[in-house]
Structure 1
Amino acid sequence: MKLNKTLTSLCKSKGLTLAELSRRTAIPKQTLHNWTIGRRSINPDQLKKVSQVLEVSVHYLLYGENDPFEAPSEVILREIFSGDVRVTLHRIERKGRR
């Protein structure tokens, strides 16, 4: 598991200290510190709280990568055309039949 490196990196990128993360998650600062130095006993409920505050999945928090079995959580729509469209509908009729 890469919890220690991932947690440290995510906190740094989001500008959070362990004290602030502790306040937002109600997890003791010492527990979070122990996670960052590799000495840890992981409570799944605490892990979930941290992942929610850091806006990542539990899998990403533990392993530093997206879960290969998880469907993408967001869909990005990119505009491929903008403008007016004219649509013409035709009815196909066979001669002699109606």
Structure 2
Amino acid sequence: MKLGSKLNQLCKMQGLSLSRLAKEAGVPMQTVHAWTTGRKSINPDQIKRVASVLKISVHELLFDEPDPHDSIGEEILKEIFSGDVRITLHRIERRKKGR
């Protein structure tokens, strides 16, 4: 799915207009519109803000697939809650300089 289609789909699902998305992300509406038509290159900072407003990863927004790095955290949580993992926390005492 292309970026423009993905933006339209996500906005529709979340009840946002493209202009509202642009405003909340702090991205010019002309830029968001140009993305939907494929006429503008992507500024990383702007796309991060748009993804944040849409509550998805940049990877998912750009490539229309789950971020492979997000699954690492899910796997760890599954292991923790399966009861097969023991976690031990230790407090590290730090010495103050000059002592």
Quote how far apart the aligned CAs of 1:26 are: 1.1
1:6–1:63 contact (8 Å) kept in structure 2: no
Tell me the TM-score normalised to structure 1 length. Answer: 0.69
Instruction: Describe how 1:1-98 pairs up with structure 2 within 5 A.
Output: 2-68=2-68, 70-72=69-71
Greater C-alpha radius of gyration: 1
Task: Kindly report structure 1 stretches of 4+ aligned residues shifted beyond 4 Å.
Answer: 73-76
Cα distance in structure 2, aligned partners of 1:56 and 1:20: 17
Higher relative contact order structure (alpha carbons within 8 Å, sequence separation ≥ 6):
1
Determine helix, strand or coil for the equivalent of 2:67. coil
Quote how far apart the aligned CAs of 1:39 are: 1.0
Cα distance in structure 1, aligned partners of 2:17 and 2:53: 12
Cα distance in structure 2, aligned partners of 1:55 and 1:62: 13
1:10–1:54 contact (8 Å) kept in structure 2: yes
Cα distance in structure 2, aligned partners of 1:63 and 1:27: 20
Counting matched residue pairs gives 77
Quote how far apart the aligned CAs of 1:54 are: 0.1
Identity in percent: 51
Which structure 2 segments of 5+ residues have no match?
79-99
Quote how far apart the aligned CAs of 1:67 are: 2.4
1:3–1:61 contact (8 Å) kept in structure 2: yes
Q: Give the counterpart letter for 2:29 in structure 1.
A: K
Tell me the TM-score normalised to structure 2 length. Answer: 0.68
1:11–1:18 contact (8 Å) kept in structure 2: yes
